[in-house]
Chain A
Amino acid sequence: MVEYRRAMSTVLAPIGRFLLAPWRGRAWRDLWFVILSSALSLLPLGLIGLPWAFFARIHLPSILACTFLALLAAVLLGPQLTTLRRSAYHGIRGAQIPRAPDTARDAASADAPFLPRMRARLRHPRSWRQACYHLIAGPAANLVGVIAGTMWVSGLVCFGWLSAAIAFGPHWKWLSMATSLALWSALLCLVVVYLTSWLVMASVRWDLKFATDLLGPSRAERLARRVTDLTESRAAVVDAADAERRRIERDLHDGAQQRLVSLAMNLGLARATLKDLPEDARTALAEAHEEAKEALGELRNLVRGLHPVVLEDRGLDAALSGIAARSPVPVQLAVDVPRRVSPTVEAVAYFMVSEALANVAKHAQASAARVDVWLDGALLRLSVADDGIGGADAAHGSGLTGLEQRAASVDGRFEIASPVGGPTTIVVELPCEL
C-alpha cells in the first residue's frame, strides 16, 4: 500500500507541478518582472526611436544616423544604465548580476575629466558588451516576455468569459455561442495560458542570463580574476608552510636540542669524572653518552633541514655552503647572487639544491657534483650537475616530482637532462620577485 502511494506520488507530483506552475507566485512575479524590465528596455530603445520619430521617414541615411547615435548614447551611458538594471534585478527578483572587476584602467578613468572619461569608455570593450545588452539582447528577451505575457493574460480573460458562456447556456446575452464551440475555445485558451506562462518564465531566464554574461565580468575578466585569486592563495599557502617550518625549527631549537645538549654534556662530565665506577656501569654510561651524541647529530641535521636561519640572515650564498659540505658526494659550489631576492624564492632555491644533492647522493653513483646559482636579470637560475650514471626520469621517483612542484609553486621552470650513462644536469629558473 505504501509502495503504491509512493509510486503514485512519483508519477503524479511532476504532473501536479506542471499543472500548478502558471498559478504559482513565481510565475506571476516573473510576469511583473517582464513588465518592469521592459520599461527599463524602453529607455535605451527610446534613444533609437525618438530621433527616428523626429525624422519621421524611412530613409537609409537617417536610419543609419539614428542607429549610430543610439549606439553612441548606449555606450556612453552604459555604466548608468547597467547600475539601474542591476539594482532593479536585485530589488524585484533577488538576482545578483556580478560586477565587472575594477581594473587599474577603471580607477584611472574615474578621476579623469568628462571628455577623456567618455573617450576611455568608447575604447573599453566592456562598454560595447553592455550596449549590446541594453540595445539588443535585453529588449529582445523582454519583447518575447511581453508578447507571451499579453497572450497569457488575454488567454485567462477569454477562458473566464467562455466558462461563463458555457455556464449561462448558448443564449447568454454577452456571448452567444454553441456550447461545443465554447468548450473547444476554452480548452484552446487553457493551452495558450500554459504555453505562454512557461514562455514568460523562460524569457526571464534568458534575460538574466544575457545580463549576467554581458553586464557582468567577461570570460577573460573572470579568468583574470581567478588567476589573481589563485596566485594570491597559492602564495599564502607557500608562506604558511614556510612559517610553519620556522616555528617547528624554533621549537626544536629552544626545546629538545638544548635539553639534549645538556644531557650529553652531563653524561660526558660523568664519564670524565666518575673513574672508579664498576666496569659494566662505565660501559653503560659510555653507551648512553655516545647515543646522546648521535641523537644530537641526527636532530641537528633534521632541524637545520627544516629552515636554516642563516638563509634569512645572510642569504642563499651563505646557506648553500652548509648543504654542499654535508653532501657525501664532493660538491663544487659557485654562487653569484649579488643582491637578495624574495625570501620565498630563496627558500625554494635552497630546498631545491638540497633535494637535488640528496638525489645525487642516493641515485646517481656520482664522484663529483657541481652547483651553480646566478642571477639573470629578473630570474634566479640554478643548475646542479653530476657525473653519475644518469637515467633519471621525472615519471619515476618522487624526488624529481617534488623538485618540479617546488619550482611550480613560484611559477618557476624545471628541466632535467639525464641520458642513460650520464651525466645528469638539472636546470631551474625562478622569478626573483613574486
Chain B
Amino acid sequence: MTEPDSSTWGVPPRWVLLIAVLSIVAAEVGGGAMGRFKIELTRWARDRMLAQPSVHGLVGVRDVDERILDEALVKFDAGLRLFHMHAEGMGLVIVATSMIAVTVIQHTAARRAIVTLLTVGGAGYPVGYLAWSALIPTYGVERSKTIAEWFVWVPFGTATIVALWCLAGFVAVRTIKSKS
C-alpha cells in the first residue's frame, strides 16, 4: 500500500482486490449453479424437509404441509438469490470503499484496520445468505435464520457498518481540516 497523495485515488492492496473479485466470481458461479441445478436443489431440499417433519412443523395433512414446504422452498431459493445478489454487490462495495479508505485516511494503522474490516465484512456478509439457505432443510426457516444471523450476518455486517462509519468520520474530518 503506497502513502496517500491528495491529488489521486489510491489503489487498494492486491489481497483486497483479489477477495473482491473472488466474491463477484462466487456470486456468478452461485447464480449460474442456481439456475442450472434448480430442480436438483429443490428436490434435495424437499426430501431433507420431508425426512424431518417435526423440524418443519409438518402435520401429515397434505393441504397444510404443502404450504409449509412451499414457503420453506421459496425461502431456500431466496437465500441462494440473495447470496448471488449480495456477493456481487459487496464485491463492488469492497473495491469502492477500500479505494476511498486508501485515498482519504493518512494514518497507516487506521487505514489498514478499516480496509481489513471492509474487506472481511463485505466478503463474509453474503455468505450468511448461502449458509441460511443451506441450513433451511435441516433446521427450518426461522432457526437457520437465527444461526446465520448470529454467526455470519451480525459479525460481518457489524464489521462493515463500523468500518463505513469510521470511514465517513475520516472523510468528515478531512473536509473540516481542508476548509479551516
Instruction: Decide if A and B are genuine partners.
Output: no
- A residues in contact (CB < 8 Å) with B: none
